[in-house]
Amino acid sequence: MTGRMTLAQELEQAHRNGVGAGIAGLQDPALGARRLSGRAVPVLAEAAVSSATPFLRAPLLGRISAALLLHTASDGWCSTCVVSVPCPTVQALR
């Protein structure tokens, strides 16, 4: 892959990875008699990941928001890094 993925692309990829892990987990032989199979498995995995994602993202988004508040622009300069805006921290977080 060339270039850097956007945050939205990374989140979408993480969602697909989560669904894939969910599909594998629901079919895990270690579940024994509770192991699932069939066409419902991807649907159940998608539903589970979709339901859980906001709760998993919330702490991360909260910390990113708090970090961005520490790097606000003042007269064209980052108030924390004292470099021209956007500072490297803001560039990495957006």
Does 89 help bind Zn ion (rule: CB under 5 A)?
A: yes
Using H for helix, E for strand and C for coil, what is the string for 30-94? HHHHHCCCCCHHHHHHHHHHHHHHHHHHHHHHHHHHHHHHHCCEECCEECCCCCECCCHHHHHHC
* Residue sitting closest to Zn ion (CB): 87
Size of the site for Zn ion (CB under 5 A): 6
CB of 11 to Zn ion, least distance (A): 23
Q: How near is the Cβ of 77 to Zn ion at its closest, in Å?
A: 9
Binding site for Zn ion (CB under 5 A): 71, 78, 80-81, 87, 89
